[in-house]
Structure 1
Amino acid sequence: MYVNITKSETGNNKGSSSQLVAYLEKENRLAEQLKQSYRPEYWFNPERDNIQAYEVRQGIDNNIAKLSRDEAKFFLVNISPSEKELLYLKSQLGEEGAKEQLKRYANEVMDAYAKNFKRNGIDGNQDLVYYGKLENHRYYTYKDLEVRKGQVKRGDRKPGEQMHIQIIVSRKDASNRVKLSPLNNSRGTNAVHSQQVGQFDRVAFKQATEKLFDSRFGYDREIKESFKYANTLKHGSYEQKQEVKEQQKQEQAVKIEKQQSHHQGKGLLATLLDGQSVYVAPAQDDDKKRKRKKKRGNNLDQSQGHSM
C-alpha cells in the first residue's frame, strides 16, 4: 500500500484547482474522445458519489478564506494499493465491488487524515473539504525511463493492475476558518506553528492507512509488504535494518515450514498423485477367478501328457 501526500500532480497548488481537476478527468475525457462504451468515474466524498468536476473546482477554490497569494490552497493525497493487494480485492469482491470498497476505504483514510492533526474541532472527515477520484489506469509520462529510451510513448497505458485513488483536499477545514497542512511535520518542535496548522505525523498516518486496509479487507500482510519494513530499510539505523531483515527471514521460514507440513499431512501417495487421474482396474468376481484357475490346471495336465 502506497499512500503519499504532495502539493499537486501538476506542480502548483497556490492558485486554482482547475488545472489539477482537469488533469484527473483524463480517463473520462479519453473515453469520450474514442467514443468508448465507458461508465464515467465521478468524484466522491462521504456525502455523495456522483460529484461533477465543476463542483470540485468550486468546492476547493471557494474554501480559501484568509489564505495569502503564496500559500497552498489544497493538497493531493494519492492512495495506491499494490498489484498484489488489488488482485486480492478483485478475487474477494469482483471488479465493481473492489472499486466501491476502495472508495469507502478512501473515506476512512481521510478520517484518519483529519484525526492525525490532533486539533480540537477536527474530529473526522466530516470536518474536511475533499473530493476523491478513482482512476483505473496509469499512463507513462516524460519522467519514465521507458519514454526517454523510446520504448513507449508518453500517454501510453502502463501494464498490470493500476487502480488507484487521487484525493484533492482543501488547505482549510469545512468551516473555512482553520488552516491544516499535512506537510507540517514539526511534532511539537515548533509549538506556535503546530498550533496554527496542526501537528501532522506522516509516518503515523501511513501506518494507520495500512492497518485500516488490512482490518477492513482481512488482508494478511507480509513483513516485506509493510510500510515499517520499507521505511526502516530507507531511514533506519544499521541495527534496525538488520532487525527487520531477520524478522522477514523468520516469517519466510515459518511459511515454508507450514507448506512442508501441509504436504506431509496429505501423505506421500496423495502428494505424488495430487492433481493426476489414477487408473483403477475393474474388480473380478470369484466365479471368473475359479474358472481361470481350472482352465490353467487343464492346460498344465495336457502339456504333461504330451511330454510323456
Structure 2
Amino acid sequence: MFINITASETGSNKASSAGLVNYLEKENRNTQNMAEHENWFNWNRDDIRPHEVRIGIDSNVAKLGKDDSKFFLINISPSQKELAHLTFVYGEEGAKEKLKGFAVKVMDEYAKNFKRDNISGHKDLLWFGKLENHRYYGHNEKEVRNGTRQRGERKDGQQMHIQIIVSRKDITNTIKLSPQNTSRGRNTSHSRKMGQFDRTAFKQSGETLFDQVFGFERGLKERMHYANMMKNGTMEQKAQMHALGNFMERYPKLHESHVTDNLMANIHHEKYPDVGSMLSSIAGGAWGLFDMLLEPVFDASGAQQTVAGEEERKRRRRKKGQGLKR
C-alpha cells in the first residue's frame, strides 16, 4: 500500500485547484463511453461534477494568503497483490466500490492525525476523491529514458488507485490543517494548537487499515515498516530482518500478524544484540516453534554477510553514479 501527500501533480497548490481538477479528468476525456466515466465522490455523494470540486475547494480559503497552500493531494495506491485480492473477493466493479469506501476510512485517519479539537473524522474535512483505473509513464521514468516506453503510454497490470483533493481548511472554513506541519518542538501545547502531523504514522495507518478491513495477509517484505528498517536501520537490524524473512518462509506460524508485529517491534527497539539471540527468542517463545532447536543450527552470520554484501553493492552504485555526474 502506497500513500503519499503532495502539493499537486500539476505544480503549485497556492492558487486555484482548476488545473489539478482538469488533470484528474484525463481518463474521462480519453473515454468516449460516458458509462465508463468515473465521477468524483466523497463520504455522502458519488455523482459530484468537476466544477463542484473546483468551486468547493477554491471557496474554502478564508484567511489564507496568496503564498499559503490552499489544498493537498493524497494518493492512495494499492499494490498489484492488494488489487488482485480485492478483485478476487469482490469482482472488478465491487473492488472499485470497496476502494472508494476504504478512501473514506483513510480520510478518517488523516483527520485524527492532526490531533485537533473538533477534527475527528472525514466529515470534518472538505475533500473530493477520484478513482483512476490506469497509470501512465512519465518523462523521468527509466523506461522512458532508455527508450523501451513512451511518455504517456499506459502501464501494464492492475493500476487502480484513488486521488483525493483535500482543502487546507476544515469543513467550517475556520481551522487550518496542514500535513506539512511536522514540527517536533519542545512546546507541546503549541504543536497541538497548530495541528502537528505525523506522515509516517498516517501512511502506516493506511496499510494497517487495509489489512483489517479486507482480511489481507501481508507478508513481511510487503510491510512499510520492513522497507523503512531495511533502508534506515542499523546493519544489525537489517541482518535480523533478513533472517526473520528467511524463517517466515519456513514457519507459517510466524505469519500471524501479532507475532510478526511483536518481533518487528523488538528489532526496531534493538532488544536483540544479534541475529542469534533473536532466533533463540523465537524458538523459546510462545509460538510453538520449539522444534527449531532440534534442526541443524542456523548460520546467523549468513544474514550479516548478505546484508553487508548488499550495502557494499549500494555503495559502489552510488559511487559510480557520482562519477558519471562529474
More relative contact order, 1 or 2 (CA 8 Å, 6+ apart): 1
Work out whether residues 78 and 164 of structure 1, in 8 Å CA contact, stay in contact via their aligned partners in 2.
Answer: yes
Give 3-state SS (helix, strand or coil) of 1:111's partner: helix
Q: How far off its partner does 1:146 sit?
A: 1.8
Q: Is the 8 A contact 1:115 1:123 kept in 2?
A: yes
Pick aligned residue for 1:79 from 76, 79, 82: 76
Gap regions ≥5 residues in structure 2: 256-326
Say which SS state the counterpart of residue 76 (structure 1) adopts: strand
Structure 2 counterparts to residues 141-152 of structure 1, below 5 A: 141-152=138-149
- 2:19 is aligned to 19
1:90 is aligned to 2:87: yes
Distance, in Å, in 1 between the alignment partners of 2:42 and 2:221 is 32
Query: 2:288 corresponds to which residue?
Result: none
Query: Alpha-carbon deviations, 1:69-107, whole Å to 9, x = none?
Result: 111111111000000110111001000000000000000
Report which stretch shifted further, 22-31 or 182-191.
Answer: 182-191
Q: How much does 1:184 deviate?
A: 1.6
* Letter of the 1:103 counterpart: K
Q: How does 1:137-216 map to 2 (within 5 A)?
A: 137-189=134-186, 191=188, 194-216=191-213
TM-score normalised to the size of structure 2?
A: 0.74
What pairs up with 1:1-308 in 2 under 5 angstroms?
Answer: 1-31=1-31, 35-36=32-33, 38-189=35-186, 191=188, 194-255=191-252
- 2-side partners of 1:189 and 1:3: how far apart? 29
Superposed displacement of residue 231, structure 1: 1.2
State the shift of 1:202 in Å. Answer: 1.2
Deviation at 1:237, TM superposition (A): 2.4
SS in 2 for 1:59: helix
* C-alpha contact 1:187 1:200 (8 A) present in aligned 2: no
Worse overlay, 235-244 or 42-51: 235-244
> Deviation at 1:256?
11
Q: Given that residues 210 and 216 in structure 2 are in contact (C-alpha distance below 8 angstroms), is that contact kept between their aligned partners in structure 1?
A: yes
Answer whether contact 1:180 1:198 (CA < 8 A) is retained: yes
Secondary structure at 1:172 match in 2: strand
Structure-2 change in CA distance of 1:123 and 1:37 (3 Å): closer
Could you say if the C-alpha distance between residues 246 and 171 of structure 1 is closer, same or farther in structure 2, counting changes exceeding 3 Å? same
Q: 1-side partners of 2:190 and 2:133: how far apart? A: 39
Aligned partner letter, 2:24: L
Q: Which amino acid aligns with 1:9?
A: E
% same residue = 56
Q: Distance in 1 between matches of 2:231 and 2:6?
A: 19
Q: Give me the whole-angstrom Cα distance separating, in 1, the residues matched to 2:254 and 2:230.
A: 26
Amino acid at match of 1:12: S
- What secondary structure, in the 3-state scheme, does the structure 2 residue paired with 1:5 have? strand
Preserved contact between residue 126 and residue 166 of structure 2 (Cα < 8 Å) = yes
Contact 2:135–2:155, Cα closer than 8 Å, also in 1: yes
Tell me the equivalent position of 1:268.
Answer: none
Query: Quick one: structure 1 residues 47 and 177, their matched pair in 2 at CA, closer, same or farther if it must change by over 3 Å?
Result: same
Aligned length: 255
1:304 — aligned with what? none
Matched residues in 1 for 2:18 and 2:183: separation?
30
Q: Which amino acid aligns with 1:24?
A: L
- Cα deviation, residue 152, structure 1: 2.2
Secondary structure (helix, strand or coil) at the match of 2:162 reads strand
Kept after mapping to 1: 8 A contact 2:139/2:145: yes
Q: CA deviation at 1:63?
A: 0.6
Match of 2:72, SS state, is: strand
- Deviation of the 1:236 alpha carbon: 2.1
Unaligned 5+ runs, structure 1? 259-308
**Partners of 1:129 and 1:86 in 2: how far apart?**
27
- Once the two structures are TM-superposed, the CA of residue 257 in structure 1 deviates from its matched residue by 11
If the length of structure 1 is used for normalisation, what is the TM-score? 0.79
Seen in structure 2, the aligned counterparts of structure 1 residues 155 and 190 have a Cα distance that, compared at 3 Å, is farther
SS at match of 2:251: helix
Runs of at least 4 residues of structure 1 off by over 6 A? none
